[in-house]
Each structure stands twice: as structure tokens, then as C-alpha cells.
Amino acid sequence: MSPERTTAALLLDIDPISLVRGKRGLGLFDYVNDRSYVSSSFMSTAISKVFGTAMSGRGDDHQELADSELDLSATITMLPCKEHDKLTAVFAPLGYQVSYYTFESDEQHPEWGDFGYVNLTIKGNVRLRDLLKHLYVLIPVFDKQKHYWVDTDEVEKLLRMGQDWLPDHPERQFITSRYLKRQRRLVDMVFERLAAGSATEADVLTEPVEQGVRPLFQRRLEDVFDTVKATGATSVIDLGCGEGNLLKLFIADSQFRSITGVDVSTLALKRCSNRLNMDEAGESMLQRIRLFQGSLTYKDERLRGYQVACVVEVIEHIDPPRLQAFEEVLFGYARPRTIVLTTPNSEYNAVYQIDTHRHEDHRFEWTRAQFHQWAVTTAEKYGYTVRFSGIGDDDEVHGPPTQMGVFTCE
Ligand code: SAH
């Protein structure tokens, strides 16, 4: 320790036998386990207990230091990790230089292979609170086990600890899915809360998805895409296209010769245009795809002439007094042959254990009965028929997380 530099070491003494007997950690481990030797969720818990004040950003006598970016480095010994490239992929976007030491097997026994642990060092100019939060979340991302049962509390923790850096992290899907131990219901909850309206779902469809975890937003877009494709349509308009995840699917399929995205938000459209590389698009692409800014509650000629219109997770962003204008524009004026519309099923919020809307910009969320009533009434009024289906895992009591109505007219 010197006036300029100090080191803190956190050493845990874990009794492997009490883990097995369930005194700690709910008896989640076998007798022979590595827990006392590795950096794991026990380390995260210890970080939050020992460095809780620093993590909250409070510095009492030295608040200016707590608020400044400092030249910090952290070494995590014996971090379980076999996917070494993920270390850089996860830590480098947070501003760290990453180095690590691996433990290759004994020269005598090459067949033992890599032991699957690293000593990791990260170094960067960051605030101490950020470094601690990164470690708190990311140690258990690499160590696949947790010493407690993962449940909705973990979603809150992840959103709280990750709010400043997780939404834009290129590996956010990997981090979320691993942190929540690949429980799809919880992963969905995080993305539903991070995503709607704030246009943070960028690139989700191009990111590798961990096996077995296909988050809800992805299933939703794929279900909508399949429904549209099955109509045989060649022209489609995506109303409230956001960053263009659905448009991307249409572009990749040559059945669709005319593809248009509309959004009221210029920021969303800008991101959409970047993601679709519109600046570099050639003549044929520009003929095939169009983006424009507009609102679904005003009659606009550019909304007409498409065989199919998609309205995915948009209606709940419209103020109830403007709904009638929206119906008139879409069903009365634009009048595509098919309309594929999705919206959250509010009953399912009980499964997510939230008693608010899924996103703060949602003006309402409908139960299945409310959605059916609106859809049937609107279909009748404008000469459409409607069929319903659910998207995502169906809960016996509360139904699916997303509900879809497919409207058709002759
Ligand atoms: N359909 C996309 C985005 C859903 S978020 C997806 O599923 O990923 C809702 C989007 O609707 C936002 O991009 C928002 O800007 C847009 N939106 C909300 N009200 C709108 C309106 N009146 N007209 C057009 N777009 C609207």
C-alpha cells in the first residue's frame, strides 16, 4: 500500500462439506466439488457484502475518488472458463484490457486436456463501483453454478447491477442467459423489460443464441414471419418497425419483393437504417425496401397498397383515445388483405411476477378476453375475420406471454 496505490485481497474459506449437507447452498452440490477452490457466486456474494458501500458509489470522505475513473485492475483466480474467447468478448466492450493464464494439463497426461479454469486479470480506467458491479455479475456468468436457487429476484439484481452497461453490451444475450442459468422465463423477462420501445433489441437475430434458449422476442418475430410467409404475400409493411428486426427476416427471403418499415420515432428509424446498411444499399435493394417516418394514427397514402401489414408490439404504445384513429387508418384506409398484430397478454405478467406494465411506455396491456373483444369488434366493423394464437410458452392458468391476431379480408 502507498498513497497512490493499494491492493485489497478477498479470500474466501468455504467448507465443501456443509455445502453438500445443505447448510449453505441448499444442498445443490456433490460431495466432490470444486467450490472451495474457484471463484464463483460465493465470491459475488462476498463482494457485495464486503464492498457494498463502494458498490453503491458512496465514498464518504473521498466522494470525488468514488466518482472518478481510476486506473484499476482486478485478478480473479480460478475462474471456471473453457470458452476463452468469451473472456475478451465480455470484458473488452466494458473498457478492459484482458489477460489470462490457463491451466493446461500435465505434460504426462495430455489426454486430460484443459482443466477449464483461468486466472483472469482485467485492467482499465473505470469507476470502482462499475468494476465491482461487472465482477458481481460476470463471475457467475462464467461459473455456471450458483449456490442459491435462481429466481425472479435475480432478474431484479441483474437489471439493477447491469442497468448502465448491459442494454448496449454486444454479449448481452449470452450474459443474461448465463446469469439466469438459461431459464427462459427469466431471460424473457429481462429482455421484455429492456426492450420494448427503447429499441435495444438490435442485432438479436444475428447473435448466436445459446442452445435451448430462444427468447420470447425472437420467437415472436419468427412466428410473425412464418405467418406472413404462409400467406404467399410478396409485399409487406411493418408498422412500428422499431430497429427493423422483422424487416431483416423479410429481406433475407426472396419471396418478398416489396418491404416497407414505418415508425414514428426518427431515432428508431436511424438505427434501423444503420442495421440494414441502407447507406450502402445498391439499386435493387433500394427498389425493394423502403423506410419512412410516419404515424399510424394519421391517414397517409404511403401506408396503402401492401398485401400484408404487421403490427408487432405496437398497439399498446398508442393512447386509448387514439385507438379509434388507428383502427380507421389501418382497417378502413390502408386495408391490407392480411394484418398480423401482436400485443402482450397482461395475464402472463403474473408469471413474470410483475404487477405493472411490461414497459413504462405501454399505455395499456390487455388480457386475452380484452384483446379478443377488441379484435372481434374491430374485425366486424371493417369486414375482416380474425383468428387468434399465442406466442411463447403457454402457462396453464395465464396463457401465453404474447397474443397474436391474424385479420383477413377478401
Ligand atoms: N415492432 C418492433 C418494435 C416494437 S416497439 C418489434 O417488435 O421489435 C414499438 C414501436 O412502435 C416503437 O418503435 C415506437 O416508436 C413505434 N410506435 C409507437 N407509436 C407509434 C405510432 N403511433 N405510429 C408509428 N409507430 C409507433
| Minimal-distance CA residue to ligand 1 atom 15 | 265
pLDDT at 23 over 60: no
Nearest to 25 by CA among 146, 143, 136: 146
Q: How far is the CA of 263 from the centre of ligand 1 (A)?
A: 6
pLDDT-derived band at 148 (thresholds 50, 70, 90) equals low
Ligand 1 mean position, distance from CA 240 (Å): 3
Query: Can you tell me the distance from the alpha carbon of 378 to that of 365, in angstroms, rounded to the nearest whole number?
Result: 17
Question: Which residue is it, cell 386509448?
Answer: 320
The answer to whether residue 373 scores a pLDDT higher than 50 is yes
What's the rounded mean pLDDT across residues 177-198? 74
| Residue 25: per-residue pLDDT | 45
DSSP string, 120-189: EEEEEEE-HHHHHHHHHHHHHHHS---SS---HHHHHHHHHHHTTTSTT-TTHHHHHHHHTTT-HHHHHH
- Which residues lie closer than 8 Å to 119 by C-beta, 6 or more apart? 75, 76, 77, 78, 79, 100, 101
Higher pLDDT, 205 or 161: 161
The C-alpha cell that represents 198 in the structure block: 427503447
Q: Which residue has the higher pLDDT, 177 or 341?
A: 341
pLDDT grade for 35, boundaries at 50, 70 and 90 = low
Question: Pocket of ligand 1, candidates 314, 357, 358: which has the most ligand atoms within 8 Å of its Cβ, to mutate?
Answer: 314
Name the closest-CA residue to atom 20, ligand 1: 264
What pLDDT, on a 0 to 100 scale, did the predictor assign at position 316? 95
Of ligand 1's listed atoms, the one at least distance from the Cα of 322 is 22
| Binding site membership of 268 for ligand 1 (Cβ less than 6 Å) | yes
Which residues, 6 or more positions from 172, have their beta carbon under 8 angstroms from its beta carbon? 166, 194
Residue 380 has pLDDT above 80, yes or no: yes
CA separation (Å) from 118 to 103, 136, 385?
7, 17, 60
Pairwise CA distance, residues 109 & 115, whole Å: 12
| Alpha carbon of 293 to ligand 1 centroid (Å) | 11
Cα first-last separation, the chain? 79
What DSSP character marks residue 108?
A: T
Contact 318 CB / ligand 1 (< 6 Å): yes
Largest interatomic CA distance in the chain = 80
- What ligand 1 atom has the least distance to the C-alpha of 197? 5
Check if 218 has its Cβ closer than 6 Å to any atom of ligand 1. Answer: no
Tell me: pLDDT of 21 over 70. no
Over pLDDT 90: what percentage of the chain? 50
Mean predicted confidence (pLDDT) in 227-253: 95
Ligand 1 atom closest to Cα of 201?
8
Q: Which residues, in sequence order, are bridge partners of residue 340?
A: 310, 406
Q: Which residues in 57-75 are b (16+ Cβ under 10 Å) and which e? A: eebeeeeeebeeeeebebb
263 ligand 1 Cβ < 6 A: yes
> Which range in 15-24, 184-193, 277-286 is most confidently predicted, on average pLDDT?
277-286
pLDDT at residue 361, as a whole number = 80
- Residue 48 or 370, more confident: 370
For residue 125, CA distances in Å to 87, 97, 129 come to: 18, 10, 12
Compute the distance between CA of residue 157 and CA of residue 368 in angstroms, rounded to an integer: 30
- Report the pLDDT value the prediction gives residue 113, as an integer from 0 to 100: 63
Question: Which residue's CA is the nearest one to ligand 1's atom 11?
Answer: 240
Fill in the DSSP letter of residue 394: P
Q: Which atom of ligand 1 is nearest to the CA of 268?
A: 13
The CA 32 to ligand 1 mean position distance, Å, reads 52
| Nearest residue to 389 via CA among 350, 340, 330, 351 | 340
Q: Does residue 311's CB lie within 6 angstroms of at least one atom of ligand 1?
A: no
Report in angstroms the alpha-carbon separations of 136 from 25, 44, 273, 306, 360. 18, 5, 36, 50, 27
Regarding the beta carbon of 240 and ligand 1, being less than 6 Å apart is answered yes
- Assign 209 a pLDDT band (cuts: 50, 70, 90): very low
CA–centroid distance, 312 to ligand 1, in Å, is 8
pLDDT bracket for residue 381 (50, 70, 90): very high
Ligand 1 atom 23 nearest Cα: 295
The alpha helices in 298-362, defined as continuous H runs, are 323-327, 349-352
Q: Is the CB of 340 under 6 A from ligand 1?
A: no
Q: Compute CA distances 242 → 263, 316, 348, 404, whole Å.
A: 6, 14, 24, 18
400, pLDDT greater than 90: yes
Q: What is the pLDDT of residue 135?
A: 95
72 close to 131: Cβ distance less than 8 angstroms: yes
pLDDT of residue 275: 87
Asked if the model's pLDDT at residue 43 lies above 80, the reply is yes
Which of 198, 218, 264 best tests ligand 1's pocket when mutated (most atoms within 8 Å of CB)? Answer: 264
Residue 363 phi, psi dihedral angles, 5° rounding: -85, -25
For residues 189 and 158, is the Cβ–Cβ distance under 8 A? no
0.85 exceeded by pTM: no
> For residues 123 and 133, what is the distance between their CA atoms, to the nearest angstrom?
15
* CB of 269 closer than 6 angstroms to any ligand 1 atom: no
Residue 303 has pLDDT above 80, yes or no: yes
Using the mean position of ligand 1's atoms as its centre, give its distance from the Cα of residue 177 in Å.
Answer: 26
Q: Which residue CA neighbors atom 16 of ligand 1 most closely?
A: 240
pLDDT surpassing 60 at residue 210: no
CB-ligand 1 contact for 197 (6 Å cutoff): yes
Among 144-158, 285-299, 390-404, which stretch is predicted with the lowest mean pLDDT? 144-158
Does ligand 1 lie within 6 Å of residue 316's CB atom? no
Q: For residues 189-211, give the mean pLDDT.
A: 51
Q: Atom 17 in ligand 1: which residue has the minimum CA distance?
A: 240
289-293/258-263 β-pairing: parallel
Say if residue 30's pLDDT is above 60: no
Exposure class string for 367-381: b at 16+ Cβ within 10 A, else e:
ebebbeebbeebbee
The answer to whether residue 20 scores a pLDDT higher than 80 is: no
pLDDT at 207: 40
Which of 361, 363, 295 lies closest to 330, judged by CA? 295
Is it the case that residue 226 has pLDDT exceeding 90? Answer: yes
Which grid cell is 246? 422483422
Smallest CA-to-CA distance from 359 within 348, 344, 369 is with 344
pLDDT computed for residue 167 by the predictor: 82
- The mean pLDDT of the chain is 86
Atom of ligand 1 nearest to the CA of 310: 1
Position with higher pLDDT, 360 vs 284:
284
Residue 91's pLDDT is what?
97
> Which residue has a Cα nearest atom 5 of ligand 1?
197
